[in-house]
Structure 1
Amino acid sequence: MKLFKQFTIIIFLSFLGEVLHTLIPFPIPASIYGIMLLFFLLERNVLRIDDVREVSDFLIFIMPLLFIPSAVGLIDVLDELRASLTAYVIIIISVTLIVMVVTGRITQWFLRNQNEKET
């Protein structure tokens, strides 16, 4: 019953994300709204980590399985992608490096500020 409750919480927040996506005219995916709601509720201690821990661990565990339909879809359109494959690879590598650098810099900034506050 505990897992059912946890899964219901996550599904409900996903549903609210869909509602927000419909109501708010920004080009933000509904799943992002749902994740932001989950973060807000966890941050404000409305929800505790233990309220969703087991189901979230399970969903993370099966995440690679969830990418299979996308991979199959790419294989279906591989002939169309081949014409621009070099551009896609360059873009993917560039964006990945940019995200890694920006994430590292932001993390370093947060760690430096946290260390300054502690001293």
Structure 2
Amino acid sequence: MIAALTVLLVFQLLGEVIARALSLPVPGPVIGMALLFLALLIRGGPGEDLRQTAGTLLQHLSLLFVPAGTGIVLYGDRLATEWLPLLAALVASTALAIAVTAVVLRALTRQRPSSAGGARQ
């Protein structure tokens, strides 16, 4: 488990270094996750240790939201003054995510033959 956590943290660190060195507008952990994805593609998938560690982290994902909740409490006054742009961004991004998901789902269901003899619906 320690080795798998080390792998995850090393890729996050690589992402942070790349993001800061190149002044990219993308968060370092996102770049690190993309690098980890590429490494796993090349390697042929995660090992059992990494798979179990990731599963354990996902089971306790709610604990990772504690810092975000603390940030909301800490910056409550700023949220109170800038609630309208935050609400607009939240609503717009949610609507965009739902729309993109619907378009992707429609494209994927058109490509996949149905289980009833291969006829499309």
User: What's the TM-score, normalizing by structure 2?
Assistant: 0.76
Q: For residues 37 and 103 of structure 1, do their structure 2 counterparts lie closer, same or farther at Cα, with a shift above 3 Å needed?
A: same
Alignment RMSD: 2.3
Whole-Å Cα distance in 1 between the matches of residues 18 and 62 of structure 2? 27
**Count of residues paired in the alignment:** 114
Q: For residues 46 and 11 of structure 1, do their structure 2 counterparts lie closer, same or farther at Cα, with a shift above 3 Å needed?
A: farther
Once the 2 structures are TM-superposed, how far is the Cα of residue 34 of structure 1 from its aligned partner?
0.7
Once the 2 structures are TM-superposed, how far is the Cα of residue 45 of structure 1 from its aligned partner?
2.7
Deviations 1:61-113 (A, max 9, x none): 22211211221221233233223324422431221121121023123323433
User: What's the TM-score, normalizing by structure 1?
Assistant: 0.77
What residue identity is the alignment partner of 1:96?
A: T
Identify unmatched segments of 5+ residues in structure 1.
none
Q: Aligned to 1:104, which of 76, 80, 102?
A: 102
* Mapping of residues 1-119 of structure 1, within 5 Å: 3-113=1-111, 115=112
Q: For residues 21 and 49 of structure 1, do their structure 2 counterparts lie closer, same or farther at Cα, with a shift above 3 Å needed?
A: same
